[in-house]
Structure formats: C-alpha cells, structure tokens
Amino acid sequence: MNFTFDGMDLTGRPGDTIAAALLRAQMRIVNRSFKYHRPRGLWGAWVEEPNAILDVTLNGVRTPNCRATTTPLAAGMAIESVNTALTARRDPLAVLDRFARFIPAAFYYKTFLWPSWHLFEPTIRKMAGLGRMDGTQDFVPAAPQRHETAELLVIGAGPAGLEAALAAARAGLDVVLVDDRDTPGGSLIDRAEHLEGQSPADWAAAMISAFRAAGGRYLPATTAFGAYDHGLFLLAQRRDHPAAPALIRLRADRAILATGAIERPLTFVDNDRPGILSLHAGQAYLNRHGVLAGQRIAILSTGDAQTAATQFRAAGAAVEVIEAGEGRAEVEAVHWFARHLRGLTLTDGRRIDCDTILASGGWTPAVHLHCQTGGKLDWREDIQAFVPRADRPQILTIGAAAGTFATDDARSDALIAARGDRPALRAQDPVRKAWPQLGQSRRAWVDFQNDVTVKDVELAGRENMRAVEHLKRYTTLGMANDQGKISNMPGLATMAAIRQVPIPEIGTTTFRPPFDPVSLATLAGPKREALFAPPKRLVLEPLHRAAGALMREYGGWLRPAVYTDVEAEVSAARDHVTLFDGSPLGKIDVYGPDAARFMDFIYYNTMGNLKPGRARYGFLLTEGGIVFDDGILFRLSEYHFSVSCSSSHVDQVANLLDLWRQDQFDPDRVFIQDATPHWATLTLAGPKARALMARLDFGIPLDDAAMPHLSVVQKDGMRIARVSFTGDCSYEISVPARAAAALWQRIVTTGRDFGLALQGVEALAILRMEKGLIFVGKDTDGTTMPHDLGFAAPREKKQVEFVGKRSLFTETASRPDRLQLVGLACQGAPLPVGGHATAPGQPASQGYVTSAAHSPTLGKPIALALIAGGLGRMGEEVEVYHLGQRRRATICPGCFVDPEWERLNA
C-alpha cells in the first residue's frame, strides 16, 4: 500500500499499522520531542507509544494526532510529523536542545516574565504542541452510540481473558468480551507463544469460536476506556479511519479485567534516541507484522530475554543480550551519529555496536480501570509494581494486570474468576530493580512525550514539589496524551530515591478516564448542531412565523422575539392591546388534602389562605434563602393549586416541589404533576384588553368585583386568569394546545377593532422593566433574597416554617449594604447591562446594572440594578463603569411607569 510520510513516498503492507509500515521502511525518526525538538522514533507497538503522534490525511480529510501504533495503514494516506518546523528528519528548532539548561521543567514560572509572559507565550506555544487542526474542515461525521448490558464483562482477549470469558459463557452467563485489537490473543501473539500445540492465532481463534458458540458476544477493535459507578463501562469501537469510534455504554453486573501489563523503559542517558524501543514492541513488530526493528540488536533487559533473542536471530538479526538492573553494568553512553544509533557503552567498559536497542525495565500492570472505580493499589515488592487491591467485589483483575505473568498461572486464575471467586495471590520471582539513578551529569528521559528528564524530577524535589501530585503538575510528567503509561513508574521511583522512602510511600496520582484518548465526536454522538441543546417548540410556532416573527431562544424555548418593531409593540401594549404567546409559563399541579400547607412551606409568601379562584405572586427560595424562582400561584379548588413558575425553570421547580414533598410531607396527602406541555397560554395586555375580552365573550363576568386582578376562572375547558406582567390590565387564556391556533386566529381577527398588535419577548422585557418587575437570574443573582427586592413582609411576619426561612436571618442576610434592586435614571443612551456602579470617581464596585433599555413609554432610558444598600440611597448619584467608559446615573425607585399601579384596573 502506497503512502507518504513527510512528503516521502513509502510502501506498506495490508495489515500494517502506520508504525509497522514506517519501521518496515526504516523510518527511524518519526517525530520531534515536545520541548527540545529532539528527534524521536518509535518506542512501543500499541497504546503505550509516546512519540509517534502524527497527522494523517486520507481522502482529503485531515485527522490530527493519530497514534501511529494503533492506526491501521490505508492506501493513499499522507502522514506528517508534528511539532517540527520542517520534517521529522530535519527540524531547525532542534537548536532549542542546546539551550535545554535554560528551559527545564516549569521554566515558565521563572523566565520569560519581563515585561510580560504574554509577549512570549504565543511564540512558545507555536514551537511546542502536537497536531494541527484543518481550519477548512467544519464538519466531522457523527459517531454512532448504543447501549449494552451484560452479566459479565471481560476486558482483554489475551489468554487470561479468553479463558475467563469462555468458562463464564459455558456456565450460562451473558458475557461480553472486549479487546482493543482486531484479532484475539493479546500478548500471546506479540510473543509468538504457542499453546496446546497451536499457534497463538489459531488457539485464540478457536477460543473465540467456542465462546460465541456458548452465546458470548465478542467485540474486537474495542477499547474499554472508562469504568464508572454501578457497573457502567464506556467502550470505543474502532471504525475505518478517519471515522470516529462508535461509543458503547455497557452496564455489567460484574467485570473481569484482563488488561495485561505495560513494559517499562530503562532510564539511562540519551534513552530517548530513535532506535531505542521496548523489547516487547520489538517482538510485536516481528511476530505481528514481520518487521525486524533492526539488523544489529542490543537487548537490555531486567528479565529473561533469550526467547526474544532467539526469535530475532531466526529472523536474521545479529543480537546481543545484556542483563540490566541492580548489580549489573549500566549504560554509560549511547552513540548517536548522523541521525542513526550506532551503539552503546556500558559502565564496565564494554562497547556494543548496534543499530537498535530493545530495552525492558520490567512490567507495570495496567490497573487503570480498577482505579477509575475507586479501587486502591497494593505494592508488590517482588515485581516492583502496583497491583489492584482486592477491594472491588464486582471487579476482579487477573493475569498480568494482577501481577501474574506466567501464562498457565493466568489461565488457572481466569477459571477461578469466571466463577466469581478471587484468585489467590501468586508470589513471583523477584525482578531486578532498574530504577533511574540520581545525580547524573547528562539527561536521562523519564517522560518521552513531555520531555521530562530525571534532572527535572530532581529539580522538583529541590523546589519542594515532592508530593506525587505536585511532581506531576510541576514537571508535567504523565500529563501528555500517553497519560504516563510508561513514565509514571520511573517518575515515582525517582522521587522515592530523592526522598529516600519506599516507592509505595510516594503513591500514585488519580487515575481518571479515558484510559486512551477518545475523539470528542465519539462522546458527542448525535448531540451536535441542532440536536446539541434543542429548544422546546411552541404549538403556535407556524402562526408566529407566518406573522413574520423573528424566532429566538429564551429559557430553552424558541419564541417570537419581535414581529414588527420592539418599540412599536411596547407602545401598542401601553396604548391599545397586545397578544403574546405565554405558553411556556409553568403550570405545575399540586393536589391533595395537605396541598395548602405544602404551598405555605414551599413559598416565601403566605399562600395557604388563598381562596379558590384567587392567585398570589410569590417567591420560591433555596434553603440558603436565595430567590430561586418567582411567579403566580393559582388556587383552582380547595385541594388543587397550579404553580405558574418561570418559563425557563419549570423542570427545576417541579424537582424542588418533589424533593420537599418527599422530605417533609405525607406523600399520601400531597401530589405533584407538571401540566405545562398540555396547555397553550395566550395573553392579552393593555388598556383595551378588557374591552377585547368582552367582545370575545367567553361567558365570564369581567368587572373588577367578579374578576379582580389576581383571579382565575375555569370554564369550558379553559382557564382564564387575570394577572399582569406589564402593569396593564391583562388576561391569560389557557387552552389545550390543540385549541390554541383557532383561539389565536379568533383573537387576531376580533382584535383588529381594538388596535391589537402581536407582541414578542423583547417588548415584554421592556414593559416589565418599566414596572420594575424582575426576571429571576437576570435582576437577581446568587445572593439575592426577597427583602433585597423590597419584599420584606413575609420575612418579618410569616409564622410558619418555610424553605429558606432561617437563612433569612443570618448576619449576612441582615447586612445593610446588601445588593438591593433599584432603578437607575440617566441621560442619553441606555446604560450598559453588566456595568458596575461606583461612587463618583471611586474604583470599588457597589453593584451592577441588571437590565437596561430605552423606554418608548417614557421616551428616555431606564435601568434596573443591584446596588449595595440601594433601597436606602434614593436620589444618590453613582457612576456606571463599563469597558473604560463612565456614565452618571441616579438611584431611583424601580417602577418607572404608573408607580401607583392604576393602569391594572383600567
């Protein structure tokens, strides 16, 4: 298969990963390091790879940051190295490496500070970083998502996982087996380890066949990247590049983690040179892809490497095996010349000529998923590694992931785990320690991807960043997208040596999902574009659109913002009558013999004494006494109330009601049901509203005695309420949604004789502002209590307990300088919303503007604001500061129009 790398034409084979193809083409240098722009080659063969992060373009689609070891090669791929000014082989920015001593870990806390870090930051960021986004690509296809359940989830189709999955399936359990490879077998394939006389591929395939025959479900090319509460696992199922993986949410009664182990590097000077790979990766490339990592191989290993050496020799390489670790000679120098590895020299004087070093510093069990669920780790001195503690009854770890490396032992443990029992601990032959040495004069790398060296860890130690969490953040060790898979343990061991404590005393940082980076498209699924946060739709939307309304989102609903002109609509509401779609207003039914007592508890205001057919304005508070919502409460009958809360807040208010119902009241005497979606509410407002209502003739008396302000009538399936959010005489007519269109048309037709105009939300905002009526969340903030809005009476007089009561009497709640809602009068243009009020010429904020607009009714600007102690500062002048500008304003009452409220009964 033909492809290009940094512009060079290369050829790979079907089944290659990009990494295997590059190795096959003898591309030793595949990238540049993050900070120093040192040449980097492959280290690993799968998810542990830290260096080969490349941008891939296929069929015109550019995908940044693809890991070469896990991305299958496809014909026609154009692959580019990242973080280089030119190519991986030639990068002029490599000169930075000569100044390494000036840019160690955390250099940005100490240098490039004068005159300002921001002067240097853009350039520094450009020189460091990974892939480049393609700005012309604005559409990434959605990734599918689905849900699954299982009695048992087995993660890992190596020998341990296969045994466990098959045994459990044969025992009748509903089993799902996942593995991140396309084919099963795991480490058996990498090592070419035969089992029961069969090749690893044949043995694994037979196991899968038997597993499926027993009813098991096998998901290859699927990474379990997250383990969550209550048996939830997130899986990413790979699809053909560049499609984002599909997301599977799998809920399992229990899980077996057979996730294997990750080989550790050896930490020696210049251990980041291209041509130095992990021993296991060398075997994997040979046994999976038929690619030799090199022709002259030096193996440095703390364990037995003879089997691997035999395999490499059989493939034609010259191999020398060197024992590494405690008590053995160490690497004194790596010889690197003309972009090639030439050999190494040991401290015992031996010089070994080679073109490839395969290094193994031991194995680190992959404990990530265990820890993500909160599982703890135990230190195993014999294998010099952390293993899962037996503290998760529903999650068992087996095989190499549990520190059991012998295949036969892992298979035996798998059968025990399949039964739901925990295998006994198996002590292993002690491994030779091979942790980083301190005090070296030259650099040895701990974290390849973030260019963190032993010297950096020593620096962190000297600067007292000795706790593991500080070590991580200070040096960025483990913070790259390889998430410390090969760097965490050497880093911990180095800090342990610095602090002269055992490694387990250093501990580990917190393991969090994802185990492997996941595309945002996978997580988003269909929730994008129009489906990301779709607004609710009005039943009358077609009529609004037909009338020319500009539709915009308000509080989760798509509503008419304006039909013609905002100020004209305001004027129509003040001079004639307007029609407004108030359907989103909450209508939450509260029933039962204790409903009245419940309403008294829920509301700040006294509500239980409302008579049927009457309504009252009130506040809902949080337990902290903060205004949570406001609105009208209707009493429809002795045991039936309707909570008309804010349009944007219905779900939250319903939840609040349910919460307190369960907490404080007999659930057999109070009941709650949200009725909002059933109803459409059409609002008539204005001095001619009553006359229009009379013409419409709904068969109800409209005089003030029969239907005063804040009253409600139910008739012929309708609810007609007299309430007002504009200060003028106003009626809300609620009908079942299917009847709304006919009623709307009838009102529009009849209303022509009265100068009826359609009114949008923008006009409503001005009308209510003119009257000083609040929008909760706009004219209130997270500190606002009812007495800050001028509603102090219930606080002082209401006797019964209600939500938030005691919080209204704290020291903070009683301070005289609390932010209080007032009006602001000014000249010229409206004040800027969010502008801060200060004493003239003073810098300290005393509050801020919450609403502001030009009032067509008054012909001048008005504003509402939360001002410290505002209610006691009427007439006082303040300055309003915003974006460098200062305006003068005068504190005044918040009701600008008809302060005597005479228009209500006009």
The CA distance from 329 to 352, in Å, is 13
Alpha helices for 151-245 (secondary structure H): 159-170, 187-191, 200-213
Q: Which of 268, 445, 679, 744 binds other proteins (CB under 8 A)?
A: 679
Which residue reads 């001079």 in tokens? 575
Q: How far is CA 719 from the centre of its chain?
A: 43
Q: Are 743 and 733 in contact (CB under 8 A)?
A: yes
Cβ-based nearer residue to other proteins, 344 or 561:
561
CA-wise closest residue to 490 among 99, 50, 41: 50
Least spacing, CB of residue 536 vs other proteins, in Å: 3
The CA distance from 674 to 826, in Å, is 43
Cβ-based nearer residue to other proteins, 129 or 526:
526
Q: Which of 147, 340, 695, 778 binds other proteins (CB under 8 A)?
A: 147
Q: Are strands 885-892 and 536-537 parallel, antiparallel or unpaired?
A: unpaired
Least spacing, CB of residue 623 vs other proteins, in Å: 24
Backbone angles phi, psi at 738, to 5 degrees: -65, -20
* C-alpha angle 432-434-438 in degrees, rounded to nearest 5: 145
> Quick one: which segment of 314-322, 531-539, 744-752, 822-830 binds other proteins (CB under 8 A)?
531-539
893 near other proteins, rule: CB under 8 A: no
The CA distance from 279 to 306, in Å, is 11
138 near other proteins, rule: CB under 8 A: no
541 near other proteins, rule: CB under 8 A: yes
678 near other proteins, rule: CB under 8 A: yes
> Quick one: which segment of 164-172, 316-324, 532-540, 720-728 binds other proteins (CB under 8 A)?
532-540
Least spacing, CB of residue 683 vs other proteins, in Å: 18
| Torsion angle (degrees, nearest 10) of CA 817, 820, 823, 825 | 20
Least spacing, CB of residue 244 vs other proteins, in Å: 14
Q: State the binding string over 498-527 for other proteins (x if CB under 8 A, else -).
A: ---------------------------xxx
Positive or negative, the CA dihedral 9, 14, 19, 24 is negative
Least spacing, CB of residue 665 vs other proteins, in Å: 13
671 near other proteins, rule: CB under 8 A: yes
What is the identity of the amino acid at 577?
Answer: V
> Quick one: which segment of 216-224, 474-482, 676-684, 881-889 binds other proteins (CB under 8 A)?
676-684
The residues in 585-614 that bind other proteins, with binding defined as CB under 8 A, are: 589, 591-592, 595
The CA distance from 498 to 479, in Å, is 21
Count of positions on this chain that bind other proteins (CB under 8 A): 53
Cβ-based nearer residue to other proteins, 576 or 635:
635
Least spacing, CB of residue 628 vs other proteins, in Å: 21
What is the identity of the amino acid at 96?
Answer: L
> Quick one: which segment of 7-15, 122-130, 266-274, 528-536 binds other proteins (CB under 8 A)?
528-536
> Quick one: which segment of 5-13, 377-385, 427-435, 541-549 binds other proteins (CB under 8 A)?
541-549
Cβ-based nearer residue to other proteins, 558 or 696:
558
Query: Can you give the length of the chain in residues?
Result: 906
> Quick one: which segment of 337-345, 544-552, 613-621, 765-773 binds other proteins (CB under 8 A)?
544-552
Distances (CA, A) of 725 to 239, 617, 632, 894, 904: 55, 11, 10, 14, 10
Question: CA end-to-end span of the chain, whole Å?
Answer: 84
Cβ-based nearer residue to other proteins, 79 or 549:
549
Q: Which of 110, 126, 146, 442 binds other proteins (CB under 8 A)?
A: 146
The CA distance from 390 to 251, in Å, is 21
CA-wise closest residue to 851 among 792, 898, 896: 896
Cβ-based nearer residue to other proteins, 289 or 587:
587
The residues in 233-292 that bind other proteins, with binding defined as CB under 8 A, are: 249, 251
* C-alpha angle 125-126-132 in degrees, rounded to nearest 5: 115
Q: Which of 90, 335, 552, 597 binds other proteins (CB under 8 A)?
A: 552
> Quick one: which segment of 88-96, 444-452, 537-545, 777-785 binds other proteins (CB under 8 A)?
537-545
551 near other proteins, rule: CB under 8 A: yes
The token duo for 131 is 């892939």
Beta-carbon contacts of residue 760 (< 8 Å; ≥ 6 apart) = 549, 550, 559, 560, 561, 562, 563, 566, 569, 580
The CA distance from 298 to 271, in Å, is 13
The CA distance from 49 to 68, in Å, is 8
Q: Which of 198, 673, 814, 885 binds other proteins (CB under 8 A)?
A: 673
The CA distance from 502 to 507, in Å, is 10
> Quick one: which segment of 332-340, 348-356, 539-547, 774-782 binds other proteins (CB under 8 A)?
539-547
Strand partners, 31: 40
Least spacing, CB of residue 677 vs other proteins, in Å: 4
Which residue reads 């809902």 in tokens? 620
Cβ-based nearer residue to other proteins, 171 or 406:
171
Least spacing, CB of residue 673 vs other proteins, in Å: 4
296 near other proteins, rule: CB under 8 A: no
Exposed / middle / buried, residue 698 (Cβ in 10 Å: 0-12, 13-18, 19+): middle
> Quick one: which segment of 21-29, 61-69, 146-154, 285-293 binds other proteins (CB under 8 A)?
146-154
Beta-carbon contacts of residue 733 (< 8 Å; ≥ 6 apart) = 681, 682, 683, 684, 698, 718, 719, 720, 743
Cβ-based nearer residue to other proteins, 503 or 518:
518
Q: Where are the beta strands (DSSP E) in 102-206?
A: 145-155, 175-178
Q: Which of 535, 755, 777, 832 binds other proteins (CB under 8 A)?
A: 535
Cβ-based nearer residue to other proteins, 266 or 538:
538
The residues in 717-746 that bind other proteins, with binding defined as CB under 8 A, are: 736-738
Q: Which of 3, 405, 557, 775 binds other proteins (CB under 8 A)?
A: 557
Q: Which of 390, 523, 675, 868 binds other proteins (CB under 8 A)?
A: 675
Q: Are 776 and 620 in contact (CB under 8 A)?
A: no
Q: Which of 534, 548, 699, 840 binds other proteins (CB under 8 A)?
A: 534
CA-wise closest residue to 631 among 536, 712, 561, 723: 723
Least spacing, CB of residue 736 vs other proteins, in Å: 5
SS (H, E, C) 707-757: CCCCEEEEECCEEEEECCCCCCCEEEEEEEHHHHHHHHHHHHHHHHHHCEE
Backbone angles phi, psi at 889, to 5 degrees: -150, 160
Cβ-based nearer residue to other proteins, 332 or 589:
589
Least spacing, CB of residue 144 vs other proteins, in Å: 7
Q: Which of 85, 95, 520, 531 binds other proteins (CB under 8 A)?
A: 531
637 near other proteins, rule: CB under 8 A: yes
Least spacing, CB of residue 737 vs other proteins, in Å: 4
Backbone angles phi, psi at 337, to 5 degrees: -150, 135
Least spacing, CB of residue 217 vs other proteins, in Å: 12
Cβ-based nearer residue to other proteins, 633 or 636:
636
840 near other proteins, rule: CB under 8 A: no
| Interface residues toward other proteins, by CB under 8 A | 142, 144-149, 249, 251, 525-527, 530-531, 533-539, 541-542, 545, 551-553, 557-558, 584, 589, 591-592, 595, 636-640, 667-668, 671-679, 736-738
